[in-house]
Amino acid sequence: MKFLIVLGALFCVQTLLALDAKEIIAKMQKVYNKEAHLEYDCTYELFKGHKDATAETTYKGYVYRNKTNVYQKIDQTEFVYASDFFLQINHEEQAAVLALSQRSVNLDVDMNTALKECSNIEMKTEDDYYAITLFIKNTSSLPFSIVKLRVDKKKYYLERLDLYYSAEQDFSEDAKKVDMAQPHMRISFKEPKMNPKEKKTYFLLSTYIKTVDKKLIPTGSIEGYSFIDNRVN
């Protein structure tokens, strides 16, 4: 009987932790989703393995959102999710691809999907933040096995997101060698700016593309880049 009581108590604790974690994530989502206009900087760190402490690659990121329009920059790549077009610019390759409008991947979609696909949730309350760990089901289509969040206790801002990939990646820089490991991506977020200065030019196609002799030509910061218009079938 004591054994059953202990099991029941443990089950209740796990259930309460799961509920608390989901409530905290919901509060975090509300903070970001209630403001139609915001921006924030972030840093991406790619680790070779799940237990590695030193990042293989580090690069900066930036996100600006104005209602449904989203501009995102990750290292040398820009993504423009405008109401009437989608544009991806790769400055390293000096190439741009234009497509029909797409819905941006946002925090709400990502976290809700992860919550639905997790088999267990753990949460720790630290001095200044909540540490939440989602263990993803083996049968899930998500590419991660574990997702960790660090959420600020006062304002419910997302401070850090750790994604532990389930598939292996080849880290070898030598074409004749193979160095396989499961990557770990850490994204550290700075405090978001609510209602920042408006940047309308991000979402104007004329900022990036002009028409010359009825042809679309890259202009401005991407002048001279190779260009593909995928809106044409």
Between residues 155 and 173, which one has the greater pLDDT?
Answer: 155
The alpha carbon of residue 17 and the mean position of all alpha carbons in its chain are separated, in whole angstroms, by: 24
Name the band, by pLDDT with cuts 50, 70 and 90, for residue 107: low
Contact criterion met (CB below 8 Å) for 226 and 94: yes
The predicted pLDDT at position 14 comes to 45
Q: What pLDDT, in 10s, does the model give residues 6-43?
A: 444 444 444 434 558 999 999 998 998 888 899 999 99
The predicted pLDDT at position 215 comes to 92
The predicted pLDDT at position 106 comes to 58
- Residues 149 and 147: their CA atoms lie apart, in Å, by 7
H/E stretch holding 108 reads: helix 107-117
The structure tokens listed for 137 are 């089901």
The structure tokens listed for 232 are 């044409």
The predicted pLDDT at position 35 comes to 84
User: What's the distance, Cα to Cα, between the start and end of the chain in Å?
Assistant: 69
Stated pTM of the model: 0.84
Q: What is the mean pLDDT of the chain?
A: 88
Break the chain down into helix, strand, coil percent, rounded to 5: 25, 45, 35
Checking if the pLDDT of 97 tops 90, the result is: yes
The full set of domains in the chain, from first to last, is 2-229 (2.50.20.10)
Contact criterion met (CB below 8 Å) for 132 and 6: no
Question: What is the Cα Rg of the chain in Å?
Answer: 21
Neighbouring CB atoms inside 10 A of 39's CB total 18
Neighbouring CB atoms inside 10 A of 70's CB total 21
Neighbouring CB atoms inside 10 A of 174's CB total 7
Q: Token match 């040398």: residue?
A: 76
Checking if the pLDDT of 59 tops 90, the result is: yes
The predicted pLDDT at position 3 comes to 43
The predicted pLDDT at position 34 comes to 86
Checking if the pLDDT of 66 tops 80, the result is: yes
Q: What pLDDT, in 10s, does the model give residues 214-229?
A: 899 999 999 999 999 9
- Residues 125 and 159: their CA atoms lie apart, in Å, by 14
- Residues 36 and 167: their CA atoms lie apart, in Å, by 35
Q: What pLDDT, in 10s, does the model give residues 142-157?
A: 999 999 999 999 999 9
Longest dimension (CA), the chain: 85
Classify each residue of 2-38 as buried b or exposed e, where b means 16 or more C-beta atoms within 10 Å of its C-beta.
eeeeeeeeeeeeeeebbeebeebbeebbebbeeeebb
3-state secondary structure of 91: coil
